[in-house]
Structure 1
Amino acid sequence: MLDREEDILESQRIRRVLLTGLINLTIRTNYLTFNGNIYEQIFGLPMGSPLSPLLANAYQKEIEENFKRTPLQPAVLMRYLDDYFAFWSHGREKLEEFLNFVNQINEKIKFAMKAEEGEWLPFLDVEVIRSNGTLKNKFFKKKSYAGIILNFRSHHNYRLKLEIMSMIIRSLRLTDVEFWDKELDKLTRIFLYNGYPSEVIQRNIRAVKPNGRIGTIKEQ
Protein backbone atom coordinates (compact mmCIF):
# COMPACT_ATOMS: atom_id res chain seq x y z
CA MET A 1 0.00 0.00 0.00
CA LEU A 2 2.85 2.36 0.80
CA ASP A 3 4.29 1.95 -2.71
CA ARG A 4 1.51 4.10 -4.15
CA GLU A 5 2.06 6.77 -1.48
CA GLU A 6 5.82 7.11 -1.94
CA ASP A 7 5.52 10.77 -2.98
CA ILE A 8 3.66 11.57 0.24
CA LEU A 9 6.32 9.86 2.33
CA GLU A 10 9.04 11.85 0.59
CA SER A 11 7.23 15.18 0.87
CA GLN A 12 6.71 14.66 4.61
CA ARG A 13 10.25 13.28 5.09
CA ILE A 14 8.88 10.16 6.73
CA ARG A 15 10.97 7.02 6.64
CA ARG A 16 9.01 3.99 5.48
CA VAL A 17 10.41 1.75 8.22
CA LEU A 18 9.43 4.31 10.87
CA LEU A 19 5.89 4.66 9.54
CA THR A 20 5.28 0.91 9.29
CA GLY A 21 6.72 0.45 12.76
CA LEU A 22 4.34 3.02 14.23
CA ILE A 23 1.36 1.47 12.43
CA ASN A 24 2.25 -2.01 13.67
CA LEU A 25 2.67 -0.72 17.21
CA THR A 26 -0.78 0.87 17.04
CA ILE A 27 -2.69 -2.10 15.66
CA ARG A 28 -0.84 -4.96 17.39
CA THR A 29 -0.90 -3.73 20.98
CA ASN A 30 -4.60 -3.75 21.74
CA TYR A 31 -5.94 -5.35 24.89
CA LEU A 32 -9.27 -5.73 26.62
CA THR A 33 -10.54 -7.14 29.89
CA PHE A 34 -13.43 -9.57 30.31
CA ASN A 35 -14.47 -11.27 33.55
CA GLY A 36 -11.24 -10.14 35.15
CA ASN A 37 -9.04 -11.62 32.41
CA ILE A 38 -6.86 -9.65 29.99
CA TYR A 39 -7.09 -10.52 26.28
CA GLU A 40 -5.06 -9.42 23.29
CA GLN A 41 -6.78 -8.65 20.00
CA ILE A 42 -4.97 -10.72 17.37
CA PHE A 43 -7.08 -10.02 14.29
CA GLY A 44 -8.71 -6.94 12.85
CA LEU A 45 -8.31 -3.26 13.61
CA PRO A 46 -8.96 -1.70 17.02
CA MET A 47 -12.47 -0.30 17.38
CA GLY A 48 -12.54 3.42 18.10
CA SER A 49 -9.01 4.08 16.87
CA PRO A 50 -8.72 7.10 14.52
CA LEU A 51 -6.31 5.02 12.45
CA SER A 52 -8.71 2.13 11.82
CA PRO A 53 -10.95 3.78 9.15
CA LEU A 54 -7.86 4.98 7.26
CA LEU A 55 -6.27 1.53 7.20
CA ALA A 56 -9.55 -0.21 6.38
CA ASN A 57 -10.07 2.13 3.44
CA ALA A 58 -6.53 1.51 2.22
CA TYR A 59 -7.03 -2.25 2.45
CA GLN A 60 -10.28 -2.02 0.51
CA LYS A 61 -8.31 -0.39 -2.30
CA GLU A 62 -5.92 -3.32 -2.22
CA ILE A 63 -8.85 -5.72 -2.57
CA GLU A 64 -10.17 -3.72 -5.51
CA GLU A 65 -6.83 -4.15 -7.30
CA ASN A 66 -7.51 -7.90 -7.27
CA PHE A 67 -10.81 -7.36 -9.07
CA LYS A 68 -8.81 -6.53 -12.20
CA ARG A 69 -7.59 -10.12 -12.36
CA THR A 70 -11.03 -11.35 -13.43
CA PRO A 71 -11.88 -11.59 -17.16
CA LEU A 72 -15.33 -10.08 -16.59
CA GLN A 73 -15.73 -7.01 -14.43
CA PRO A 74 -18.54 -4.63 -13.43
CA ALA A 75 -19.29 -1.87 -15.91
CA VAL A 76 -19.44 0.53 -12.97
CA LEU A 77 -18.16 -0.04 -9.44
CA MET A 78 -18.70 2.50 -6.66
CA ARG A 79 -17.86 2.20 -2.98
CA TYR A 80 -18.77 3.85 0.28
CA LEU A 81 -16.48 2.49 3.01
CA ASP A 82 -17.03 -1.29 2.65
CA ASP A 83 -20.33 -1.18 0.73
CA TYR A 84 -20.24 -1.48 -3.06
CA PHE A 85 -22.75 -0.56 -5.73
CA ALA A 86 -22.14 -2.05 -9.16
CA PHE A 87 -23.60 -2.40 -12.64
CA TRP A 88 -23.19 -5.92 -14.06
CA SER A 89 -24.04 -6.85 -17.64
CA HIS A 90 -22.69 -10.40 -17.96
CA GLY A 91 -25.56 -12.42 -16.53
CA ARG A 92 -26.35 -13.87 -13.12
CA GLU A 93 -24.16 -16.97 -13.48
CA LYS A 94 -21.04 -14.92 -14.21
CA LEU A 95 -21.94 -12.58 -11.35
CA GLU A 96 -21.92 -15.53 -8.95
CA GLU A 97 -18.50 -16.53 -10.29
CA PHE A 98 -17.22 -13.00 -9.73
CA LEU A 99 -18.52 -13.03 -6.15
CA ASN A 100 -16.86 -16.39 -5.49
CA PHE A 101 -13.56 -15.00 -6.76
CA VAL A 102 -13.84 -11.90 -4.56
CA ASN A 103 -14.54 -14.04 -1.50
CA GLN A 104 -11.32 -16.00 -2.07
CA ILE A 105 -9.07 -12.93 -1.86
CA ASN A 106 -9.01 -13.05 1.94
CA GLU A 107 -10.48 -16.03 3.78
CA LYS A 108 -11.51 -13.81 6.72
CA ILE A 109 -13.30 -11.18 4.63
CA LYS A 110 -16.50 -12.30 2.90
CA PHE A 111 -18.84 -10.22 0.77
CA ALA A 112 -22.59 -10.72 0.58
CA MET A 113 -24.57 -9.70 -2.48
CA LYS A 114 -28.03 -8.31 -3.06
CA ALA A 115 -29.22 -8.05 -6.66
CA GLU A 116 -31.92 -5.87 -8.13
CA GLU A 117 -35.49 -7.03 -7.53
CA GLY A 118 -38.40 -5.52 -9.42
CA GLU A 119 -36.20 -2.77 -10.88
CA TRP A 120 -35.11 -1.40 -7.52
CA LEU A 121 -32.28 -1.99 -5.08
CA PRO A 122 -31.55 -0.55 -1.62
CA PHE A 123 -28.07 0.86 -1.07
CA LEU A 124 -27.32 2.29 2.36
CA ASP A 125 -30.10 4.85 2.98
CA VAL A 126 -31.11 5.12 -0.67
CA GLU A 127 -33.62 3.14 -2.71
CA VAL A 128 -32.28 3.16 -6.27
CA ILE A 129 -35.02 2.73 -8.88
CA ARG A 130 -34.39 1.84 -12.53
CA SER A 131 -36.96 3.56 -14.73
CA ASN A 132 -36.89 3.94 -18.52
CA GLY A 133 -33.12 3.86 -18.75
CA THR A 134 -32.54 6.27 -15.88
CA LEU A 135 -31.92 5.92 -12.15
CA LYS A 136 -34.10 7.58 -9.54
CA ASN A 137 -33.56 7.82 -5.80
CA LYS A 138 -35.79 7.60 -2.76
CA PHE A 139 -34.94 7.57 0.91
CA PHE A 140 -34.88 3.94 2.03
CA LYS A 141 -36.38 2.74 5.30
CA LYS A 142 -36.41 -0.87 6.40
CA LYS A 143 -39.77 -2.56 6.90
CA SER A 144 -38.97 -2.85 10.60
CA TYR A 145 -38.71 0.94 10.97
CA ALA A 146 -41.42 1.99 13.45
CA GLY A 147 -41.06 5.77 13.16
CA ILE A 148 -40.18 6.20 16.83
CA ILE A 149 -37.84 9.11 17.57
CA LEU A 150 -37.12 11.30 20.60
CA ASN A 151 -40.49 12.60 21.79
CA PHE A 152 -40.85 16.36 21.69
CA ARG A 153 -42.32 16.36 25.20
CA SER A 154 -39.28 14.64 26.68
CA HIS A 155 -36.99 16.54 29.05
CA HIS A 156 -34.13 16.75 26.58
CA ASN A 157 -32.49 19.90 25.32
CA TYR A 158 -34.59 21.68 22.69
CA ARG A 159 -31.56 21.98 20.41
CA LEU A 160 -31.15 18.19 20.41
CA LYS A 161 -34.74 17.76 19.21
CA LEU A 162 -34.15 20.21 16.38
CA GLU A 163 -30.97 18.39 15.37
CA ILE A 164 -32.87 15.10 15.24
CA MET A 165 -35.52 16.73 13.06
CA SER A 166 -32.85 18.18 10.79
CA MET A 167 -31.12 14.82 10.44
CA ILE A 168 -34.37 13.10 9.41
CA ILE A 169 -35.47 15.89 7.08
CA ARG A 170 -32.11 15.78 5.31
CA SER A 171 -33.25 12.43 3.93
CA LEU A 172 -35.22 14.50 1.41
CA ARG A 173 -31.93 15.42 -0.20
CA LEU A 174 -31.51 11.75 -1.08
CA THR A 175 -34.92 11.74 -2.76
CA ASP A 176 -35.82 12.87 -6.27
CA VAL A 177 -38.28 15.77 -6.28
CA GLU A 178 -41.06 13.71 -7.86
CA PHE A 179 -41.27 11.62 -4.67
CA TRP A 180 -41.16 14.56 -2.26
CA ASP A 181 -44.89 14.89 -1.60
CA LYS A 182 -45.21 11.29 -0.40
CA GLU A 183 -42.00 11.51 1.63
CA LEU A 184 -43.11 14.78 3.22
CA ASP A 185 -46.38 13.18 4.24
CA LYS A 186 -44.51 10.27 5.84
CA LEU A 187 -42.10 12.56 7.68
CA THR A 188 -44.92 14.79 8.89
CA ARG A 189 -46.80 11.83 10.33
CA ILE A 190 -43.65 10.63 12.09
CA PHE A 191 -43.05 14.02 13.71
CA LEU A 192 -46.69 14.50 14.72
CA TYR A 193 -46.79 10.98 16.16
CA ASN A 194 -43.81 11.88 18.32
CA GLY A 195 -45.36 15.10 19.60
CA TYR A 196 -43.64 17.72 17.43
CA PRO A 197 -45.75 20.90 16.90
CA SER A 198 -46.91 21.56 13.34
CA GLU A 199 -45.29 25.01 13.21
CA VAL A 200 -41.92 23.53 14.15
CA ILE A 201 -42.33 20.86 11.46
CA GLN A 202 -43.23 23.43 8.80
CA ARG A 203 -40.33 25.70 9.66
CA ASN A 204 -37.76 22.92 9.46
CA ILE A 205 -39.11 21.33 6.28
CA ARG A 206 -39.32 24.73 4.59
CA ALA A 207 -35.56 25.05 4.98
CA VAL A 208 -34.91 22.19 2.55
CA LYS A 209 -37.97 22.11 0.27
CA PRO A 210 -37.54 23.67 -3.20
CA ASN A 211 -38.88 27.26 -3.44
CA GLY A 212 -39.61 27.16 0.28
CA ARG A 213 -43.23 26.28 -0.52
CA ILE A 214 -45.09 23.98 1.79
CA GLY A 215 -48.73 23.44 2.58
CA THR A 216 -50.24 23.73 6.02
CA ILE A 217 -49.54 20.77 8.26
CA LYS A 218 -52.43 19.87 10.48
CA GLU A 219 -51.91 18.21 13.84
CA GLN A 220 -53.52 14.78 14.00
Structure 2
Amino acid sequence: MAADILSPLIGNTEHHITNSQTFVERIKDLKLEPDESIVSFDVSALFTSITVNEAITVVRELLESDDTWKKETAENLDVDSVIQLLAFCLNTTYFVFRGKFYQQKDGCAMGSPCNPSVANAYMEFFETKALSLAPHPPRLFLRYVTYSLRIHQSHQQAGIRTFKSPGGDGQLSFPDTLIVRVSDGNVKIKIFRKSTNTKILKYLSFESPHPLEHKLSVVKTLIHRSEIVMDPSDKEEEVSHIKSALRSCGYRDWTCS
Protein backbone atom coordinates (compact mmCIF):
# COMPACT_ATOMS: atom_id res chain seq x y z
CA MET A 1 0.00 0.00 0.00
CA ALA A 2 2.78 2.45 0.91
CA ALA A 3 4.42 1.87 -2.47
CA ASP A 4 1.15 2.72 -4.28
CA ILE A 5 0.60 5.83 -2.16
CA LEU A 6 4.12 7.15 -2.66
CA SER A 7 4.48 6.29 -6.35
CA PRO A 8 2.91 9.53 -7.71
CA LEU A 9 5.00 11.62 -5.31
CA ILE A 10 8.46 10.39 -6.23
CA GLY A 11 10.43 10.50 -9.44
CA ASN A 12 9.24 14.00 -10.28
CA THR A 13 12.51 15.86 -9.83
CA GLU A 14 14.68 17.01 -12.73
CA HIS A 15 17.38 14.63 -11.57
CA HIS A 16 15.32 11.42 -11.69
CA ILE A 17 16.04 8.79 -14.33
CA THR A 18 13.40 6.13 -15.01
CA ASN A 19 15.38 3.77 -17.25
CA SER A 20 18.28 3.64 -19.70
CA GLN A 21 16.18 5.09 -22.53
CA THR A 22 15.29 8.23 -20.58
CA PHE A 23 18.93 8.49 -19.54
CA VAL A 24 20.06 8.48 -23.18
CA GLU A 25 17.45 11.10 -24.04
CA ARG A 26 18.84 13.36 -21.31
CA ILE A 27 22.47 13.19 -22.42
CA LYS A 28 22.30 12.55 -26.17
CA ASP A 29 23.00 16.22 -26.96
CA LEU A 30 25.52 16.66 -24.15
CA LYS A 31 28.81 18.32 -25.01
CA LEU A 32 31.61 18.36 -22.46
CA GLU A 33 33.98 21.26 -22.10
CA PRO A 34 37.73 20.48 -22.09
CA ASP A 35 37.93 21.08 -18.31
CA GLU A 36 34.87 18.99 -17.45
CA SER A 37 34.64 15.38 -16.32
CA ILE A 38 31.84 12.88 -15.82
CA VAL A 39 31.75 11.15 -12.44
CA SER A 40 29.47 8.40 -11.15
CA PHE A 41 28.56 7.39 -7.62
CA ASP A 42 26.84 4.36 -6.15
CA VAL A 43 25.19 4.30 -2.74
CA SER A 44 26.41 1.36 -0.70
CA ALA A 45 23.77 -0.68 1.18
CA LEU A 46 21.02 1.90 0.67
CA PHE A 47 18.19 0.18 2.55
CA THR A 48 20.18 -0.71 5.64
CA SER A 49 21.87 2.72 5.73
CA ILE A 50 18.63 4.69 6.00
CA THR A 51 17.59 5.84 9.47
CA VAL A 52 13.98 4.71 9.89
CA ASN A 53 12.81 7.70 11.93
CA GLU A 54 14.31 10.16 9.47
CA ALA A 55 12.79 8.28 6.54
CA ILE A 56 9.37 8.45 8.19
CA THR A 57 9.80 12.21 8.67
CA VAL A 58 10.68 12.59 4.98
CA VAL A 59 7.61 10.61 3.92
CA ARG A 60 5.37 12.65 6.22
CA GLU A 61 6.60 15.92 4.71
CA LEU A 62 6.06 14.48 1.26
CA LEU A 63 2.49 13.42 2.01
CA GLU A 64 1.67 16.78 3.57
CA SER A 65 3.04 18.71 0.61
CA ASP A 66 1.01 16.89 -2.06
CA ASP A 67 -2.34 15.13 -1.64
CA THR A 68 -2.17 13.34 -4.99
CA TRP A 69 -1.59 10.10 -3.09
CA LYS A 70 -5.19 10.12 -1.82
CA LYS A 71 -6.35 9.16 -5.31
CA GLU A 72 -4.29 5.95 -5.09
CA THR A 73 -6.15 4.46 -2.13
CA ALA A 74 -9.80 3.52 -1.68
CA GLU A 75 -9.52 3.92 2.09
CA ASN A 76 -10.24 7.27 3.69
CA LEU A 77 -6.80 7.68 5.21
CA ASP A 78 -5.20 10.80 6.57
CA VAL A 79 -1.46 11.47 6.84
CA ASP A 80 -1.25 10.31 10.46
CA SER A 81 -2.88 6.99 9.60
CA VAL A 82 -0.51 6.36 6.69
CA ILE A 83 2.51 7.23 8.82
CA GLN A 84 1.32 4.95 11.59
CA LEU A 85 0.98 2.05 9.17
CA LEU A 86 4.33 2.82 7.57
CA ALA A 87 6.08 2.98 10.95
CA PHE A 88 4.59 -0.40 11.81
CA CYS A 89 5.92 -1.92 8.58
CA LEU A 90 9.38 -0.41 8.98
CA ASN A 91 9.80 -1.27 12.64
CA THR A 92 8.43 -4.81 12.78
CA THR A 93 11.54 -6.30 11.23
CA TYR A 94 11.89 -9.62 13.04
CA PHE A 95 13.90 -12.62 11.94
CA VAL A 96 15.04 -15.94 13.32
CA PHE A 97 18.69 -16.94 13.64
CA ARG A 98 19.71 -20.26 15.19
CA GLY A 99 16.32 -20.67 16.81
CA LYS A 100 16.22 -17.20 18.40
CA PHE A 101 14.11 -14.20 17.40
CA TYR A 102 15.83 -10.89 16.67
CA GLN A 103 14.71 -7.43 15.60
CA GLN A 104 16.63 -5.35 13.08
CA LYS A 105 17.06 -1.98 14.76
CA ASP A 106 19.14 -0.11 12.19
CA GLY A 107 18.05 0.71 8.66
CA CYS A 108 15.20 -0.56 6.53
CA ALA A 109 14.92 -4.29 6.04
CA MET A 110 15.50 -5.88 2.64
CA GLY A 111 12.50 -7.47 0.97
CA SER A 112 9.70 -5.28 2.27
CA PRO A 113 7.38 -4.10 -0.56
CA CYS A 114 7.26 -0.54 0.78
CA ASN A 115 11.00 -0.06 1.25
CA PRO A 116 11.96 0.72 -2.39
CA SER A 117 9.53 3.66 -2.46
CA VAL A 118 10.65 4.84 0.97
CA ALA A 119 14.30 4.60 -0.06
CA ASN A 120 13.62 6.50 -3.29
CA ALA A 121 11.79 9.24 -1.39
CA TYR A 122 14.69 9.51 1.03
CA MET A 123 17.24 9.68 -1.81
CA GLU A 124 15.30 12.55 -3.43
CA PHE A 125 15.27 14.39 -0.11
CA PHE A 126 18.98 13.77 0.40
CA GLU A 127 20.05 14.82 -3.11
CA THR A 128 17.91 17.97 -3.02
CA LYS A 129 19.46 19.01 0.27
CA ALA A 130 23.00 18.14 -0.85
CA LEU A 131 22.71 20.04 -4.14
CA SER A 132 21.22 23.09 -2.45
CA LEU A 133 24.16 23.27 -0.03
CA ALA A 134 26.90 22.49 -2.56
CA PRO A 135 29.34 25.40 -2.96
CA HIS A 136 29.88 24.38 -6.60
CA PRO A 137 26.73 22.62 -7.86
CA PRO A 138 27.35 20.27 -10.80
CA ARG A 139 26.24 21.36 -14.26
CA LEU A 140 24.32 18.09 -14.55
CA PHE A 141 23.19 15.65 -11.88
CA LEU A 142 21.16 12.53 -12.71
CA ARG A 143 20.17 9.59 -10.54
CA TYR A 144 18.80 6.13 -11.21
CA VAL A 145 17.85 4.51 -7.85
CA THR A 146 21.25 4.32 -6.09
CA TYR A 147 23.40 5.32 -9.07
CA SER A 148 24.20 8.99 -9.59
CA LEU A 149 26.01 10.79 -12.38
CA ARG A 150 27.34 14.34 -12.38
CA ILE A 151 29.40 16.64 -14.55
CA HIS A 152 31.96 18.76 -12.74
CA GLN A 153 34.96 20.87 -13.63
CA SER A 154 38.39 19.32 -13.23
CA HIS A 155 39.44 21.70 -10.43
CA GLN A 156 36.60 20.29 -8.30
CA GLN A 157 37.83 16.72 -8.72
CA ALA A 158 40.24 16.59 -5.76
CA GLY A 159 37.48 16.79 -3.16
CA ILE A 160 35.72 13.69 -4.45
CA ARG A 161 38.72 11.59 -5.37
CA THR A 162 38.24 9.10 -2.55
CA PHE A 163 34.78 7.94 -3.61
CA LYS A 164 34.42 8.61 -7.29
CA SER A 165 34.45 6.46 -10.40
CA PRO A 166 35.89 8.84 -12.99
CA GLY A 167 36.39 6.67 -16.03
CA GLY A 168 39.92 7.88 -16.76
CA ASP A 169 40.04 6.17 -20.17
CA GLY A 170 37.23 8.36 -21.50
CA GLN A 171 34.58 5.77 -20.73
CA LEU A 172 32.20 5.53 -17.80
CA SER A 173 29.60 2.90 -17.03
CA PHE A 174 26.14 3.82 -15.85
CA PRO A 175 23.40 1.19 -15.37
CA ASP A 176 23.16 -0.81 -18.60
CA THR A 177 25.04 1.85 -20.57
CA LEU A 178 28.62 2.79 -21.39
CA ILE A 179 29.26 6.51 -21.86
CA VAL A 180 32.08 7.18 -24.29
CA ARG A 181 33.65 10.62 -24.58
CA VAL A 182 34.78 11.44 -28.10
CA SER A 183 37.46 13.91 -29.12
CA ASP A 184 35.16 16.86 -29.86
CA GLY A 185 33.58 16.76 -26.39
CA ASN A 186 30.44 14.97 -27.48
CA VAL A 187 29.40 11.66 -25.94
CA LYS A 188 27.99 8.47 -27.36
CA ILE A 189 26.26 5.55 -25.70
CA LYS A 190 27.04 1.86 -26.02
CA ILE A 191 25.85 -1.19 -24.11
CA PHE A 192 27.89 -1.86 -20.99
CA ARG A 193 29.18 -5.37 -20.37
CA LYS A 194 31.46 -6.52 -17.62
CA SER A 195 34.90 -7.79 -18.55
CA THR A 196 33.79 -11.30 -17.58
CA ASN A 197 31.10 -11.23 -20.26
CA THR A 198 31.80 -13.23 -23.43
CA LYS A 199 30.01 -14.05 -26.66
CA ILE A 200 29.14 -17.44 -25.24
CA LEU A 201 27.12 -15.83 -22.46
CA LYS A 202 24.25 -18.21 -21.84
CA TYR A 203 20.79 -16.81 -22.30
CA LEU A 204 17.69 -19.01 -22.17
CA SER A 205 18.48 -22.04 -24.33
CA PHE A 206 16.32 -22.46 -27.40
CA GLU A 207 16.23 -26.20 -26.69
CA SER A 208 14.76 -25.67 -23.21
CA PRO A 209 11.14 -26.69 -22.53
CA HIS A 210 10.11 -23.08 -21.96
CA PRO A 211 7.26 -21.73 -24.16
CA LEU A 212 8.33 -20.22 -27.47
CA GLU A 213 7.08 -16.78 -26.44
CA HIS A 214 9.58 -16.78 -23.55
CA LYS A 215 12.44 -17.44 -25.95
CA LEU A 216 11.25 -14.81 -28.38
CA SER A 217 11.00 -12.32 -25.53
CA VAL A 218 14.74 -12.82 -24.92
CA VAL A 219 15.44 -11.80 -28.52
CA LYS A 220 13.04 -8.84 -28.39
CA THR A 221 14.50 -7.60 -25.10
CA LEU A 222 18.08 -7.65 -26.38
CA ILE A 223 17.16 -5.97 -29.66
CA HIS A 224 15.06 -3.38 -27.84
CA ARG A 225 17.97 -2.59 -25.53
CA SER A 226 20.25 -2.09 -28.53
CA GLU A 227 18.10 0.88 -29.57
CA ILE A 228 19.84 3.05 -26.96
CA VAL A 229 23.12 2.75 -28.89
CA MET A 230 23.66 6.11 -30.61
CA ASP A 231 26.31 5.55 -33.27
CA PRO A 232 25.12 3.49 -36.32
CA SER A 233 28.37 1.51 -36.51
CA ASP A 234 28.19 0.76 -32.79
CA LYS A 235 24.60 -0.37 -33.18
CA GLU A 236 25.55 -2.70 -36.03
CA GLU A 237 28.29 -4.16 -33.85
CA GLU A 238 25.83 -4.61 -30.97
CA VAL A 239 23.26 -6.42 -33.14
CA SER A 240 26.03 -8.67 -34.48
CA HIS A 241 27.04 -9.48 -30.90
CA ILE A 242 23.44 -10.34 -30.00
CA LYS A 243 23.05 -12.67 -32.97
CA SER A 244 26.31 -14.44 -32.18
CA ALA A 245 25.38 -14.88 -28.51
CA LEU A 246 21.91 -16.19 -29.35
CA ARG A 247 23.18 -18.62 -31.96
CA SER A 248 25.53 -20.05 -29.33
CA CYS A 249 22.39 -20.75 -27.28
CA GLY A 250 20.74 -22.65 -30.13
CA TYR A 251 18.60 -19.86 -31.57
CA ARG A 252 17.92 -20.19 -35.26
CA ASP A 253 18.58 -17.49 -37.85
CA TRP A 254 14.91 -16.55 -38.15
CA THR A 255 14.75 -15.73 -34.44
CA CYS A 256 17.89 -13.58 -34.62
CA SER A 257 16.97 -11.58 -37.70
TM-score norm. by structure 2 comes to 0.67
Which of 117, 139, 155 is equivalent to 2:209? Answer: 155
Task: Name the CA distance, whole Å, in 2 between partners of 1:11 and 1:138.
Answer: 38
* Alpha-carbon distance, 1:126 to partner: 0.4
Task: Name the CA distance, whole Å, in 1 between partners of 2:224 and 2:69.
Answer: 40
Worse-matched range after superposition: 3-12 or 152-161:
3-12
> Which residue is 2:176 aligned to?
125
Alignment of 1:100-179 (within 5 A): 112-131=163-182, 132-146=184-198, 147-178=201-232, 179=234
> Which residue is 1:89 aligned to?
153
* Alpha-carbon distance, 1:7 to partner: 4.0
* Alpha-carbon distance, 1:61 to partner: 1.4
Which protein is bigger by CA-based radius of gyration? 1
RMSD: 2.2
> Which residue is 1:20 aligned to?
83
Structure 2: gaps of 5 or more residues = 1-57, 71-75
Residues matched between the structures, number: 189
Indicate the SS of the match to 1:129.
strand
Indicate the SS of the match to 1:68.
helix
Which of 215, 224, 235 is equivalent to 1:180? Answer: 235
* Alpha-carbon distance, 1:88 to partner: 0.7
> Is the 2:171–2:179 contact (alpha carbons within 8 Å) kept by the matching residues of 1?
yes
Answer 1 or 2: higher relative contact order, Cα 8 Å, separation at least 6.
2
Structure 1: gaps of 5 or more residues = 101-111, 203-220
Alignment of 1:44-83 (within 5 A): 44-64=107-127, 65-83=129-147
Alignment deviations for residues 14-39 of structure 1 (CA, whole Å, 9 cap, x no partner): 53332222111010002222332222
Seen in structure 2, the aligned counterparts of structure 1 residues 72 and 137 have a Cα distance that, compared at 3 Å, is same
> Is the 1:125–1:140 contact (alpha carbons within 8 Å) kept by the matching residues of 2?
yes
* Alpha-carbon distance, 1:99 to partner: 7.0
Whether 1:31 aligns to 2:94 is yes
> Is the 1:9–1:15 contact (alpha carbons within 8 Å) kept by the matching residues of 2?
no
Seen in structure 2, the aligned counterparts of structure 1 residues 5 and 199 have a Cα distance that, compared at 3 Å, is same
Q: Kindly, what percent of the aligned residue pairs are identical?
A: 22
Give the partner amino acid of 2:204.
L
